[in-house]
Amino acid sequence: MGSISSNSSFGRSVSILGAAVLAGMLSVAAQSGVASASTGNPGGAGDVVCTTSSTWQYSPGVVQRPRPITTRVRDEYSSCVSLTDSTLSSGLSSFTVEREASCLEPIAPFEETRVIKWNNGTSSTFTYLATVSSLPGLDVVTKTGTITGGEFKGSGAQSTQVGPALNLLDCFSVEGIQKQSALGTFAII
């Protein structure tokens, strides 16, 4: 993934694709949430749907050969709607990951845990398996797992993010790829 530029037609098509992904997740969550609300299930499907904006900063930059990389991850959750907690409207998750990476090796599925701090003072621990799929010109990151602690504990959750594929020429520069960004959705289902 690379930085999304709203000034390019590519950036606009990524935004359109992100909006389509969001619309699909909102539809699924709304249908699930209606059933949950009607049965009175306080931890049921469709509890939360948010848009996401993610940034990954790499130090040192990612280059063509594998090397140890420190990745600083920052995910912002906005425009959140919750069927069971009307005080929840946004959140933030940031953490650091140490692992070996390069531009030319496919990213194998990996497990991670993150804590999402919600605007209302609560938090949710999201434990998931992340996969990265490359499409022509786009990378899609999908995180599927469970809320293992805090608010919504025991509920399933999924995040889907879309961003432009890496510019492989940057992999051969001295600096390498130092930053990537993506837009997407997060749902507690």
Q: Are 184 and 20 in contact (CB under 8 A)?
A: no
Q: Write down the pLDDT at residue 105.
A: 74
Confidence of residue 1 (pLDDT cuts 50, 70, 90): very low
111 exposed, middle or buried (CB, 10 Å; 0-12, 13-18, 19+)?
exposed
Q: Nearest-CA neighbor of 160 among 136, 132, 135?
A: 132
Confidence class for position 168, pLDDT limits 50, 70, 90:
confident
Q: Tell me the average pLDDT across 50-69.
A: 94
Contact criterion met (CB below 8 Å) for 66 and 102: yes
CB 145 within 8 A of CB 129: yes
Q: What is the pLDDT of residue 187?
A: 97
pLDDT for 5 beyond 80: no
pLDDT digits (tens, 9 = 90+) for 113-129: 999 999 999 999 999 99
Q: Tell me the Cα Rg of the chain.
A: 17
pLDDT of residue 25: 43
Mean pLDDT of 147-162: 96
- In this prediction, residue 160 carries a pLDDT of 97
pTM of the model: 0.76
pLDDT for 37 equals: 34
Tens digits of per-residue pLDDT, 14-23? 343 444 444 4
Buried b (16+ CB within 10 A) or exposed e, 153-172: eebebbbbbbbbebeeebbe
Q: Is the pLDDT of residue 45 over 70?
A: no
If one compares 39 and 118, the residue with the highest pLDDT of the two is 118
Question: What are the helix (H) ranges across the chain?
Answer: 9-39
Residue 102 has pLDDT above 60, yes or no: yes
65 phi and psi, to 5 degrees? -105, 145
Average pLDDT, the chain: 80
Please report the pLDDT score of residue 137 as a whole number.
Answer: 83
pLDDT at position 85: 94
Structure confidence at residue 185 (pLDDT) = 97
**DSSP type of residue 152:** T
